Amino acid sequence: MQNIKYENGRLYLLDQTLLPNEEKYIEPKTKEDYYYAIKKLQVRGAPAIGIFAAYAMALIDGDKKELKEYLDSSRPTAVNLSWATTRMLNAYNDGKDLISEAIAIHNEDIAMCKKISEYGLSLLNDGDGILTHCNAGALATSEYGTALGPLLLGKEKGYNFRVFCDETRPLLQGARLTAYELTKAEIDTTVICDNMASLVMKQGKINAVLVGTDRIAANGDIANKIGTSGVAILAKHYGIPFYVLGPYSTIDYNCPTGDDIVIEKRDADEIKTMWYKEPMAPNEAKCYNPAFDVTDNSMITAIITDRGIIRTPYKENLERIKDND
């Protein structure tokens, strides 16, 4: 499944807001189109946002520094966005071919996801029950994905997993996107409400939790879709391994701890009206709608990157894989 396709000088994006009921590709042409696609979640998942923004930097004419700042403002929590635009701006300043650089970022993500999938699969057993939260498959990256990568690769190798997908309110990215990807891959998939996670853990249905991440702080705290930290606390309580999967580019060494991560706030209508014919809360009621929360490193069993499986102490072990540049 290709969520981002570059063909004959044109970029096509699978509009994820229409899934699972309609598969439609759109073609962004202006900087506003690219910004809107990121902001409105037509493209989402930290690696995919980075890839998409890299193509925007290559294809949109004008002041590249201004374009970078404009794109970065669309979703501030996802570090891959600013990572990709910074790399593209540096390439522009160095006189490099920007299309080649964007394609390189895209291809590198494919290779990284394959490595993450292999490392992740090494921690699982045939027949395991897996809990997922949000979506971190090929729709959120390039191929395989991060958190779903071990499951998709395992299916290719003959593993049989039983996957329980948190629906992931308020945008239902688990129900709409993760279940969509896994059922297409013919993996045993059950959608549950977010507040059912504790029950299926207590019933012994879950052997491991796999989640993606939008930013990894230097101390191993991670930001991911809202609700992730609650799932991590439950997994810790029930003695279930809680694995975080993400590419090296998701590590932000300039961010000391999770307290330093900027959390994106989104519109109240995503809670009140987006999925309903009639509003599901009084107009007078306020809504608090942060897109992400931070999971403390003490809740995490291991962080799985394309550079290996990282365990405690996270600060020291993340430092060991850091590029010396």
Q: Give the residue numbers marked as catalytic.
A: 214
Tell me the CA distances in angstroms from 299 to 43, 108, 181, 306, 314, one per residue in order.
29, 30, 27, 21, 12
| Share in percent of the chain as helix, strand, coil (round to 5) | 40, 15, 40
Other Cβ atoms closer than 10 A to 175: 21
Check: CB of residue 287 under 8 Å from CB of residue 271: yes
| 279 contacts: CB under 8 Å, gap ≥ 6 | 272, 273
| Beta bridge pairs of residue 216 | 222, 251
Tokens of 18: 């229409």
The dihedral over CA atoms of 248, 252, 253, 257, expressed in degrees to the nearest 10, equals -130
